[in-house]
């Protein structure tokens, strides 16, 4: 059985401000680093064999904090980057409406298609499970990439919820079929909400 553990990066200032990050390279803030440390404590008991990350700094630093606790190197792959948000990167919803109107989502603003994102994610997964058959692979990435890749591999999985910062989603492959054993779990953050702002 091959296991993939998807983790969304820790929180950033743009997350707090509800700005579209896309592939802009926005770093973790202090709360994001705390989230990653709490995640690392959880991960050290879970038997991961390797860690891959998006090359964007918010994901890579999250992965490096986990890696420093569980004693593994971090490998990066550009396919694990977030959805490219085109002209909307750096904007809030209010700014998008002010600039392009209520129906801004119907405009051609250079936003990457869902099919492109899921194709990047599944391409990476196919490659990594061939390299590490029967192993436990931790993948630190971004909300849209995680949700759309999960949906492509496990079509029956409901992905219509906000992917939480540092949440864990675990997929298992028996060599033929994928199943989702855990989705969007952030139990390691329970009780620390007041410290994460």
CA distance 174 to 161: 26
Structure tokens at 80: 């694990």
CA distance 148 to 143: 9
CA distances from 188 to 35, 166, 178, 192, 193 (A): 8, 9, 25, 9, 11
Minimal CA–CA distance to 80: which of 146, 154, 153, 159?
146
What's the half-sphere exposure (Cβ side, CA atoms, 13 Å) at 41? 9
Minimal CA–CA distance to 28: which of 40, 20, 17, 36?
36
Decide if 188 is catalytic.
Answer: no
Catalytic residue among 45, 46, 61, 82: 82
Catalytic residue among 9, 61, 89, 188: 9
Residues with catalytic function: 9, 82
């Amino acid at each position: 059985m091959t296991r993939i553990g998807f983790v969304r990066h820790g929180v950033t200032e743009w997350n707090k401000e509800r700005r579209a990050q896309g592939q802009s390279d926005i770093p973790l803030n202090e709360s994001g680093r705390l989230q990653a440390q709490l995640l690392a404590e959880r991960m050290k008991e879970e038997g991961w064999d390797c860690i891959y990350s998006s090359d964007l700094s918010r994901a890579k630093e999250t992965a490096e904090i986990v890696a420093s606790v569980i004693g593994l190197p971090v490998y990066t792959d550009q396919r694990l980057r977030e959805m490219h948000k085109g002209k909307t990167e750096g904007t809030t919803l209010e700014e998008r409406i002010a600039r392009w109107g209520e129906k801004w989502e119907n405009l051609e603003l250079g936003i990457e298609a869902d099919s492109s994102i899921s194709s990047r994610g599944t391409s990476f997964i196919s490659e990594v499970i061939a390299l590490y058959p029967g192993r436990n692979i931790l993948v630190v990435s971004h909300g849209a990439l995680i949700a759309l890749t999960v949906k492509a591999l496990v079509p029956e999985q409901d992905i219509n919820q906000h992917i939480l910062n540092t949440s864990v989603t675990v997929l298992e492959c028996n060599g033929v079929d994928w199943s989702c054993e855990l989705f969007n779990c952030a139990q390691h953050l329970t009780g620390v909400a007041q410290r994460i702002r």
